[in-house]
Structure 1
């Protein structure tokens, strides 16, 4: 995956919408639309195979809407331009993170000494609880 190609494509073809932002900014917040909502059509991302697109849809399923668009928002800055940059960077981070192939987990067993430590801990804990019982209660 070529990040620069992806960044350029997102900047050119991503659907940007602007809204009033929350947070600090004084009167700026009430007057200007600085919040950026970036929508990216996942099916049209360049340089990705069908398998990679499927992996994206699987891993980012909660962020992809019914029309197949990935939604990324940014309202961190008071500047609309800076929020646009932040949204593009977030989208790239999400996409590259979702495309990483994860190593399969190897099943392991606890060692003999780990089992022995666990049993010793259980016995010690049981002994402490037995000590707390009032005298005269026998089983």
Structure 2
């Protein structure tokens, strides 16, 4: 499919200050990790894979074709980097999955008969509920 190690070399990381709990220490350390991946300039993926990812990830990409993911779940920068890399790889793997073509099948005659029989039974049941015609 694709070379994971070569793909990881194309990533750029930036550490930024994280929001949330942490007290005074949170104002001094940059524990949130931002992953930047330029899809247009990737040499690991071929053109067909790039087109598929552009289509699947169009809401997540910038106008320049750059994917930006952030992770600030943990207080540790290393843990956040690990989490964002896993999230990125899962996103790429699921984006490259080619869905199977649906093969339309013919409805079996027994299924058609069963549906019509149920329909007839229901109409008879409702007809029996009507007031009788005393003419």
TM-score (norm 2): 0.75
Let me know the Cα RMSD of the aligned residues.
Answer: 2.9
Contact 2:15 2:31 in 1 (8 A): no
Give distance in 2, aligned partners of 1:28 and 1:110: 67
Q: Residues 114 and 33 (structure 1 numbering): CA distance in 2 closer, same or farther, change over 3 Å?
A: farther
What's the CA shift for 1:97? 1.5
Structure with bigger gyration radius: 2
For 1:27, the equivalent position in structure 2 comes to: 23
Q: What TM-score, normalized by structure 1, do the two folds share?
A: 0.73
**Which residue of the partner structure matches residue 3 of structure 1?**
4
Query: Residues 136 and 54 (structure 1 numbering): CA distance in 2 closer, same or farther, change over 3 Å?
Result: same
Contact 2:36–2:66 (CA<8 Å) still a contact in 1? yes
Any gaps of 5 or more consecutive residues in structure 1?
none
**In the TM superposition, what is the alpha-carbon distance from 1:98 to its structure 2 partner?**
1.1
Structure 1 runs (4+) deviating above 4 angstroms are 124-128, 131-134
Distance of 1:127 and 1:39 partners within structure 2 = 66
Give the distance between the partners of 1:113 and 1:29, measured in 2 at CA. 71
Aligned residues: 131
1:62 aligned residue: 59
The residue that corresponds to 1:110 in the other structure is 107
Once the two structures are superposed, what CA deviation does each residue of 1:54-100 show, in whole Å capped at 9, x if it has no partner?
Answer: 11101111111112111222233232211111111111111122112
* Cα distance in 1, alignment partners of residues 118 and 56 from structure 2: 40
- Structure 2's unaligned 5+ residue stretches are none
Deviation for aligned residue 1:2: 1.0
Q: CA deviation at 1:42?
A: 0.5
